[in-house]
Amino acid sequence: MRFRDGQWLVAEGMRVEYAEEVYRITETPSGKGLSLLCPTRKIMTRGDVLNLATISIDIEPAFDGCLSVSTTHWQGAVQRGPDFDLFPAGQPDVPSQVAKSEKGTTISAGSLSATISSKPHEFDISFHSTDNKKQLTTLLNRSIGFAYSPATSNPMQTADMRNLKHYIFTQTTLGVGESVHGLGERFGAFNKVGQKVDLWNSDGGTSSDQAYKNISFWMSSKGYGIFIDTPERVELEIGSERCCRVQTSVEGQRLKWYIIYGPSPREILQKYSILTGKPGNVPSWSFGLWLSTSFTTSYDENTVNSFLDGMKARDIPVEVFHFDCFWLKAFQWCDFVFDDDMFPDPKGQIARLKANGTVKKVCVWTNPYLGQASPVFAEAVAKGYLLKRKNGDIFQWDMWQTGMGIVDFTNPAACDWFVSCLEKLFDIGVDCIKTDFGERIPSEDVQWFDPAVDPKKMHNFYAFIYNKLVYETLQKRFGANEAVLFARTATAGTQRFPLTWGGDCESTPEAMAESIRGGLSLGLSGFSFWSVDIGGFEGYPEPWIYKRWVAFGLLCSHSRLHGSNSYRVPWTVDNDDASAEGCSATLAAWTHLKARLMPYLFSQAQEAVKNGIPLSLRAMCIEFPDDPTAWTLDRQFMVGDSLLVAPIFEETGTVEFYLPKGRWTNFFTGEAKSGPAWFTETHTFATLPLYVRENTLLVLGKPGEKRTVYDYVKDVEVRSYFAVDGARASLVDSTGKEVGTLQVKDGQLSGKEVLMGNYVITVASE
C-alpha cells in the first residue's frame, strides 16, 4: 500500500498523519516497557494539544535479543482473533532495563536495545546492539503514521467509519547495500529490496508475485529480523515507496512487530523459532523417494503396480507411494472415500503393496473442501461443519469442485469429523497425508462458527489450523516423531507441522530456478524441510530437464516425483532409454546417493530442528554471513553445514557457481578448489557441483547402500576433508537419537568406538 505520490505529495485519495514527536514517555501497563505518546504535529504551545490525533508506541522486551513494538491509533478498537500461537515452548524471562542519558531513553532486552532521542520536538527511535557496536535500523521522521481512504477533510467525517478505510504503518530504515530476505516461499528476486510484497496466501503458481506460504518475517543482511505479529493481510513496500525504508502496513488501528537481533542469520532464526515454534521432527523414512500418480492422470491398482514394479526393475527404491486426487470419485473431492470403481479393495491393495516390498509407506491427497456431489455433503451442512455466508447460506462456489464448501475448523465438531475421516484412512494402511490447498479462503461475506474471529485474519491463519489438526492427528496415531504432511499452504508457525512442498511449477529450467528461490526464501522464514515437484508440475519435461531436476530434487531435504497431466516415472519421459545417461539410470544414481548421505542428512536434520534453520535448501548467507556475495546467491544452496550444491539449468551441462573462502572438495572426483572464487564446470547427468566444505567429517552409508533407513553407524564410510582439531560429526540412529560424536583431537579421530562393522575412514588429500 502506497500512501505517498513520490517524496513530496500524498497519494491521491489518501489522508495521512504521522507521529511528529515523542511528547511523553511512561511505563507500559505491564511495567516492563515504555509507552510513547506521539502527537501528529509538534507541540509548541498548550493549545496545540487540542483537536489532534496521537499515536501510541509501546516498546517492550520479549526475550534476550528481541523487542516488541506496538503502534496504535485508537486503542478502543476491538481486538479480534485469531492470533499467532507465540512462544509455544514458553516465553523466556528477560529483565527490562531502562536507562537515561544525554542521547535519550534506552530500553534493553539483553543484547538488543532501542533508544528514543531526547532532542525536543524530534521523532527518532534507533535500534542497536546493547554494546552500541552495531546500528540496526531506525524509525525516523514520518516513519509511523495512519491513513484514511478516501481522504477526509473534516474530523467529523470519522464519526461514521463504515465507508472509510483506516490503515496504520511503520517505516524502518534501509542502510546502504542492505538486503532483505524471507517473507515465505517467494519465487521472485531473492533480495526483496525494490519489491512490493502482499502477505496474502494465494494459489498463484511459482511464476508470479503471489505465494502459497506467506510468512510475516523477514531477515536483513545487517544482522536483524522483523516478525510482523498478525495473520491478516500485510502489505510491504520494501524500498519501493521510499527507497531507503521498509514500510509495513495493515488495515486497522494496530500494528505490532518484533525486532530480533542476531547478529548472524543462524541466531536470528534460532530466536525467531522461540517466538513461533521450532520445526517438527520428521522420520528417517520420509527422506526416501516419494512417487506420485500425478494429478489428472488415469490410474488404478494395475497402474500403481506397474509403476512400482517398473521402479524396482530399474533399481530405483521407492519409500512412499502417493495417491493423488483421483483416488477419490470425480466431483466428490474430498470425502475421504476411495473410488470403488477404480479401487474396489483399497485396504487389501495397500497391504499387498507393502507386503511385496515395492513400497514401505503410503500417502493420499486431501484438501479441506467438500464438493456438493459427495453423499456426505448434506450431512456436513446439516451438522454445521461448513463455512457459512452472513445470510446463513453455506459458502459455496464452483472454484475447484462444483458447489464446493469449506470445512470450518473453528467448529470443534467439524474438527472431530475431519479427524474421524483421517483415522479411517489410517485404518486401511495410509501412513501420511498430503494437505493440499487452503489458500483460497474467503474473507468477505463469511460467518465462521466462532463469531469472535476476524474473517480477514482467518484467510492466512486457516493454513495453521488446517495443518495443525492433520499433523497432530498423525502424531496421535503414529507417534510424535513419525508424523509427516506434504502441505502446500502455510503461515507463521506452520513450520511446526512439516513438511511443505513448492507448489505448481512448470517443466522448464526457469521454473526450477523459481522453485529454488522459493525454497531459499522459505528456509530463511524458519522452515527446515521442503520439497518440490521433480520434473516440474505443468507440462511434459524434456528428458534433459527431468534429469537435471532429479539431481536437484534428490538433494532437497525431501524428494517427490509429481506432475499434472503426465506421469513422472522415468521411462515415460525418454521412451525408456536404458543407457547410463537415460532418465532411469539417472534417477537410480541420485536416489542411491541420497541413501548413502542419510547418516549425514539425518544428523543434520536434528540440528536443523533444534536451531530452527533449514536443512535444505539452506541459503548460502546462513553459513557465510560475512561474505557479501553469499547474500546474492539464488542458484545454489547448502545441504546442512557442509555440502554445497549448484543445480544445472543448461542443456549443455554447463554451470557457473561460487565457492566461499576456504578449501572445497568435489564430492565425486576428490579435486580440491579454493575460494572465494567463481567457477564454471560442465557435467554429465550423473554429477553436478557438489562440494564438501573444509574441516568436515562426512559420514556416509557404505558404497552401494540403497536403503533410506538403516544403521547409520554400521559399515559406514567416514571421509575427512581437511579436518583439523575441533572438527566433529554427530552420529544418530534412524530414530534421530544421538549415539556418539566423531571429533578430531590432537590430529587423531576420536569417538570411533561407536562405529560398528566394517567401517572405512578416508582422508582427503591436497
What does the DSSP assignment read for 683-706? --TT---EEEESSEEEEEPPTT--
Residues facing 220 on adjacent strands: 180
44: left (phi over 0), alpha (psi -120 to 50) or beta: alpha
What b/e readout covers 286-303, taking b as 16+ CB neighbours within 10 angstroms?
bbbbbbbbbbebebbbee
The span from the CA of 80 to the CA of 252, in Å, is: 11
Find out whether 186 and 211 touch, Cβ atoms under 8 Å.
yes
Grid-cell match 501510541, residue found: 56
Q: How many CA atoms lie within 13 A of 398 on its CB side?
A: 1
Report how far residue 184's alpha carbon sits from residue 203's, in angstroms, rounded to the nearest whole number. 14
Name the nearest CA neighbour of 531 among 575, 563, 488, 580. Answer: 488
Peptide bond connecting 386 to the previous residue in cis, omega within 30 degrees of 0 = no
Looking at 21, 60, 439, 454, which residue is catalytic? 439
Residues 103, 115 contacting (CB under 8 angstroms): yes
Q: How do beta strands 738-745 and 728-732 pair?
A: antiparallel
Per the annotation, the verdict on 427 as an active-site residue is no
**Residues 199, 188 contacting (CB under 8 angstroms):** no
Torsion of CA 124, 128, 132, 135, to 10 degrees: -80
Contact 336, 425 (CB under 8 A): yes
Q: 237 forms bridges with which residues in the sheet?
A: 196, 247
Q: Cα–Cα distance between 735 and 738 in angstroms, integer?
A: 9
439 as an active site residue: the answer is yes
CA distance 274 to 61: 14
**Whether 504 is catalytic:** yes
356's CB contacts (< 8 A; 6+ apart) are none
Distance separating alpha carbons of residues 662 and 677, to the nearest angstrom: 10
Give the gyration radius of the chain's Cα atoms. Answer: 27
Q: How many residues comprise the chain?
A: 766
Distance from C-alpha of 326 to C-alpha of 741, rounded to nearest angstrom: 47
Pairing assessment for the beta strands 320-323 and 217-220 based on DSSP bridges: unpaired
CA distance 269 to 88: 16
- Exposure of 201 in the CB half-sphere (CA atoms within 13 A): 27
The overall longest dimension of the chain from CA atoms, in Å, is 88
Between CA 201 and CA 181 the distance in angstroms is 18
Print burial letters for 629-653: b (CB count within 10 Å at least 16), e (below 16).
ebbebbbbbbbbbbbbbbbbbeeeb
Yes or no: say if 65 and 136 are a contact pair by the CB < 8 Å rule.
Answer: no
Quote the cell numbers at residue 550: 532429479
CB of 386 within 8 A of CB of 407? yes
* 363 in Cβ contact with 356 (< 8 Å): no
- Rounded to an integer, what distance in angstroms lies between the CA atom of residue 485 and that of residue 252? 34
Distance CA 591, CA 553 (A): 10
Which of 124, 237, 482, 504 is catalytic? The answer is 504
One-letter amino acid identity for 185? E
Catalytic option among 436, 506, 533, 574? 436
Would strands 4-5 and 9-10 be described as parallel, antiparallel, or unpaired? antiparallel
Helices (H) and strands (E) in the chain, counts: 10, 42
Q: What is the Cα–Cα distance from 724 to 748, expressed in whole angstroms?
A: 9
Give catalytic residue positions. Answer: 436, 439, 504
